[in-house]
Structure 1
Amino acid sequence: MAGTEELSFSEAIMAAGDAFHRFPLIKIQGVPLMCHIVHNWDSIRAFCPDPSDLLIATYPKAGLSLLKKMDPPRVIKTHLPFKLVPEGFWKNKCKAIYVARNAKDNLVSYYHFDRMNLTQPEPGPWDGYIHKFMNGELAWGSWYDHVKGYWEEREKRNILYIFYEDMKENPQREVERIMRYLDLSLADDVISRIVELTSFKTMKENPMTNYSFIPKPVFDQSISPFMRKGVVGDWTNHFSPAQAQLFDEDYERKMKDADIPFRTDI
């Protein structure tokens, strides 16, 4: 959870130094997670949100103790697949926003993130990483299960499901959509300011969103910046024709029963 995300950073920073090492993955209900998240799993599973809390869920690149000290309403970020989200979010009818990105661009971005994130398992070569992604062997599990899990529950759980590609194509439209979902009414100039502050260019220059404050033994941004390109279609610069064909065939098998309207270009 968002909690788990902050926990990852804080524990990784404390581990940085002579004894620093990459953390192994341990499975919870078949989902590979960082070992320190698994060690705190009982408190994560038991977390009880306030009905006013907002959950933002993504597959990656989408400390509960900190959350316990914060007063509601809170914005809580998670990479957990739907089946592992604490039940309290749904019992308390919390609003939730899920952000999904097309598989190929998500894979490319995650690969570069795993190269520079020295808390994650060694990603290995690109060709092998493609297979890890397709097999759901990366931290936080299968992209396919992740995007389908929230999609299938979106109406029952009142989840706002939005696409990264739509946000890149028309950010103001998507911000207004989020505002309506949250029952907010904002002036046009405020919405324009939100669009400006959440643009990739602005966030890439903001230390709080580019994570430049994370020490190099944790995030080695000389390998790859945390915020790298943020474009749609960068996958074409990484996949060979043979890799793209292999991936597309596997994608069709895994997504044949899902009608999620992903786009790989805009």
Structure 2
Amino acid sequence: MAETSKNEGEKENLQLRRATYKGIAMFECEIDDIEKMDTRDDDIWVCSFPRSGTTLVQELTYLVQTLDFETARSVQLDARFPQLEQKDDRFPYYKGVKYVEEMKSPRMIKCHLHHFMLPVQLQKGKGRIIYIVRNPKDIATSFYRLLQWGGFVLENDIAFEVFVDEFVNGTGLFCPWPRHVLEFWERRIDKNVLFLKYEDVVKDKPKTARQIAEFLGRTLTEDDVAKICDYCSVDNMKNNPMCNMSYWRDIKKVYDGDGGFINQGKAGAWKSLLTPEMAKKIEKLLDEIKGSGLNLDDE
């Protein structure tokens, strides 16, 4: 999508540049450097298909690992927990591989890449992966709302229909969804992988905090768990400028309305947003993971 001009006194609608690597549509990044980069045994990678509950799991993971609420309240999540495959010098935190390489251990890294595109060392077990999966019906509505908010799609019903079609046929950003999910699902028994379902996470955040703590070898008190889960409530996160991406307003034009970076923070929101025809189309993606043993609730 071409970059749009700005009116006097108005922020420019910056567009993240798109590219295709190894057949996957995504945003421009240093894919060759990512594949070859050195990982560390104590790395913590939160991986997901976009809009699967990644931000929630990042913040839960950061606090389980550090219990550093002061830093969480004062430093952007994109700085504490950078997204590796975002490289764009026009944005303050999309610094790519070099920034991650210079981070102190244990590094915490966000990544939307398919498993086969991750650093080779990580694929082979050097580093820890927390993967979050979500019902694709909720992903479709949440992803489109994010793209609307960021000004990356046309704001009309036809554009949403096109987005759903691309999501289902595997040509949309980071698609195909079934391949992304199943690559990680097949590695769920690996000792360096923790596989989470969004629907379970939002239903019982204390249980999730304890799962992450066990996976990372951390010890939490009940008070720690309570504080972490309170901090990570959807209302707090929606109003928290350190994780709600509000800093984008200082950089580019955003389109506030129905969408936003953090929406309802619950499972099943698709029921009031998808037409029956759209929901039926997305069901095809769930059909593609049948037989794998991975079952996703509709709410």
Q: What is the RMSD computed on CA atoms of the aligned residues?
A: 2.2
Task: Report if the CA contact (8 A) 1:105-1:235 is conserved.
Answer: yes
Give yes or no for the alignment of 1:64 onto 2:109. Answer: no
**Number of equivalences:** 244
Match of 1:94 among 127, 133, 143: 127
Task: Report if the CA contact (8 A) 1:101-1:262 is conserved.
Answer: yes
Matched ranges for 1:177-196 at <5 A: 177-196=211-230
Task: Report if the CA contact (8 A) 1:51-1:94 is conserved.
Answer: yes
Compared CA separation, residues 205 and 245, structure 1 to 2 (3 A): same
Q: How far apart are the structure 2 equivalents of 1:179 and 1:246?
A: 38
Give yes or no for the alignment of 1:125 onto 2:159. Answer: yes
Paired-residue identity, %: 24
Output the TM-score relative to the length of structure 1. 0.84
Task: Report if the CA contact (8 A) 1:25-1:121 is conserved.
Answer: no
2:23 maps to what in 1? 30
Compared CA separation, residues 219 and 210, structure 1 to 2 (3 A): farther
2:292 partner amino acid? A
Residue 134 of structure 1: how far off its partner (Å): 0.5
1:229 maps to what in 2? 264
2:35 maps to what in 1? 45
2:280 maps to what in 1? 245
Task: Report if the CA contact (8 A) 2:135-2:298 is conserved.
Answer: yes
Q: How far apart are the structure 2 equivalents of 1:96 and 1:128?
A: 32
Compared CA separation, residues 167 and 92, structure 1 to 2 (3 A): closer
What does the per-residue CA deviation read over 1:53-78, in whole Å, with 9 as the maximum and x for residues that have no partner? 11110111142221122111111110
Matched ranges for 1:196-235 at <5 A: 196-215=230-249, 218=252, 220-223=254-257, 224-235=259-270
More displaced 10-residue stretch of structure 1: 103-112 or 148-157: 148-157
Residue 209 of structure 1: how far off its partner (Å): 0.6
Match of 2:292 among 255, 258, 261: 258
Structure with more relative contact order (C-alpha pairs < 8 Å, separation 6 or more): 2
Give yes or no for the alignment of 1:73 onto 2:101. Answer: no
1:111 maps to what in 2? 144
Unaligned runs of 5+ in 2: 1-9, 55-95
2:271 partner amino acid? T
Q: How far apart are the structure 2 equivalents of 1:111 and 1:49?
A: 32
Q: How far apart are the structure 1 equivalents of 2:37 and 2:246?
A: 30
Compared CA separation, residues 191 and 19, structure 1 to 2 (3 A): closer
Residue 21 of structure 1: how far off its partner (Å): 4.8
What does the per-residue CA deviation read over 1:179-212, in whole Å, with 9 as the maximum and x for residues that have no partner? 1111111111111111111121111111011111
2:245 partner amino acid? Y
